[in-house]
């Protein structure tokens, strides 16, 4: 048999009432001008970083394989 809870139970009259939300006065979208972005110029360093990460990952993988062969 389940243990009775000591919390006070809500009655039907105390049920949660819906909340009204008013609409914003001004529109959410603005008429801002869209500028073209050259991602190759903005993020030129990302390719270099990815190359370094790949070289490090390959080196560690080779090290793990060599260690596995030597230990086994």
Top pLDDT among 58 and 37 is at: 58
With a pLDDT cut of 90, the percent of the chain lying above it is: 38
- pLDDT digit string (tens) for 19-36? 888 777 776 666 677 888
* Ramachandran area for residue 29 (φ above 0: left; ψ -120 to 50: alpha; else beta): beta
DSSP 8-71: PPPPGGGPPPP---PPPSS-S---PPP----HHHHTHHHHHHHHHHHHHHHHHHHHHHHHHHHH
Reported pTM:
0.47
The answer to whether residue 12 scores a pLDDT higher than 60 is no
């Amino acid at each position: 048999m389940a243990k009775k809870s000591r919390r006070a139970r809500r009655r039907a009259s105390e049920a949660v009432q819906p909340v009204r939300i008013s609409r914003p006065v001004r529109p959410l979208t603005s008429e801002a001008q869209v500028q073209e972005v050259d991602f190759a110029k903005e993020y030129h360093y990302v390719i270099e970083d990815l190359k370094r990460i790949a070289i490090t990952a390959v080196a560690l993988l080779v090290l793990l394989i060599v260690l596995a062969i030597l230990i086994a």
